[in-house]
Amino acid sequence: MIEQSQQFASADMAVFAREARAFLDAAASRRAPETEVIWGVGEDRITYFGDDTVEEARRQVDAARAWQKARYDAGFGWITGPSEFGGRGLTPVHDLVYDGLEAEYDTPDTGVLSLIGLGMIGPTILAHGTQEAKARYLPAMYAGDVIACQLFSEPSAGSDLANVSTRAVRDGDEWVINGQKVWTSVAQHSQLGLALCRTNPDQPKHKGITALLVDMDSPGVDVRPLRQMSGGSEFNEVFLTDVRVPDSQRLGEIDGGWRVALTTLMNERASVGSEGAGPAGRAISLPFLSALLRERDRLEDPAARRRLAELVADQLATSYLNRQALDHLIAGGQPGPEASVSKLMYSQNLTRATHFATEIVGPQLLADTGAWGTFSWNELLLSTPALRILGGTEDIMKNILGERVLGLPKEPSIDATTTYRELRTSGAGS
């Protein structure tokens, strides 16, 4: 019986793969086979965050939306999603098969849609949204019509996310939101935002938060780009002034938004950590870094070779960890603490590799002499501090792993310290 089930599953996967291949052959061109790195040939820009013009960014967003729409119409836009909301109702294995096939083709980068909206916000809406919200937003998001952003961080609520002060006050069947969010990726392209709001200031901070879906074109929503030191403006601050949101766009219970936030954060760490090295992956790969060492006449340098070997080992270990996490998801599990390990290793791998490369390049990193593969590292180097913050700082990730995986004592919180000091000042604690 088991062998027969496996045969049926194998046959089903073969049919799915043929269907996916037929779609890709008709809609996109095959990529040229990967060749060895030839120093000085091709584009040498090495970046993580972009610094494209507004016009170029818009062109890329339009291309991403068009490709997502084509995938969705062909049945490959949300392979694992429930059919009632526009999904295909298949397994994560089908998703993996399709991703592997699409990687062979030259297609637009859909990161602006997938990393935050489809990777974090979509699963959160599916888990906590009302039927009305699911029906309204999920098909539109996975068809590429709606881009979503995450309205979580604030000037005084970053690592301590539960310290959000943006207020939402109930007014009949609506909520009125006032406050400020910051470091909001893709807000300038988004039609939807998931906002954490303080709805009960009398409750402990983790228990007085409500999650609301905000239409980004609502009156009172003001998106202002933030200039990064690497040159681009991919982050934004978002001001919310008397923004009205129907209660039907609430996710989860009133004052129960922290549970909703945890769903988003776990999917965030899984999405970010599984990137490998994101858009800079080729630059920190063994072939590229080996070519850099050869060009700089350091390939036989024992110290440089040892450090390169350490980098490759770390990247391989991270890829194996991601595979283990993926197997867990395929078996029906939810993103767990291993996502925090992946996220931690992801940022550290990219940072270490970038610092290694810039040390090999030397002073040519500082001035654009025109030499291929030298000054181009500058942009990636300036991006690495952000990589150690986004998706949860390294300190936060280490605390999560220490407390939830290793079972170490919980680190004293600022709130606990403040309470203790207040008691001592009042004399009650003596």
CA dihedral (91, 96, 102, 104) positive or negative: negative
- Indicate the DSSP class of residue 408: P
Residue 359 amino acid letter = E
377 within 8 A of 361, measured Cβ to Cβ: yes
Task: Please give the structure tokens belonging to residue 235.
Answer: 């982050």
Give me the catalytic one of 268, 275, 295, 338: 268
Residues 6+ apart with CB under 8 A from 177: 166, 167, 168, 195, 197, 212, 214, 220, 240, 242, 243, 244, 245
* Cα–Cα–Cα angle for 295, 299, 304, rounded to 5 degrees: 115
Q: How far is CA 204 from CA 164, 198, 201, 268, in A?
A: 12, 11, 8, 25
Instruction: Give the Cα-Cα-Cα angle 412, 395, 311 (nearest 5 degrees).
Output: 150
CA distances from 4 to 1, 11, 83, 91, 138 (A): 5, 11, 27, 19, 36
Structure token digits, residue 12: 């089903």
By C-alpha distance, which of 116, 221, 241, 110 is closest to 178? 241
Can you list the alpha helix ranges (DSSP code H) found in 78-180? Answer: 92-102, 111-113, 122-128, 131-142
C-alpha span between 138 and 126 (Å, rounded): 8
**Do residues 268 and 332 make contact, with C-beta atoms less than 8 angstroms apart?**
no
d(CA 96, CA 327): 11
Kindly tell me the sign of the dihedral angle through the C-alpha atoms of 326, 133, 129, 250.
Answer: positive
CA distances from 340 to 178, 394, 403, 404 (A): 32, 9, 12, 11
Residue 365, CA distances (Å) to 104, 135, 211, 375 in order: 33, 51, 44, 4
What distance in Å separates the CA atoms of residue 116 and residue 194, rounded to the nearest whole number?
Answer: 11
- Annotation says 268 is catalytic: yes
**Residues annotated catalytic, as ranges:** 268
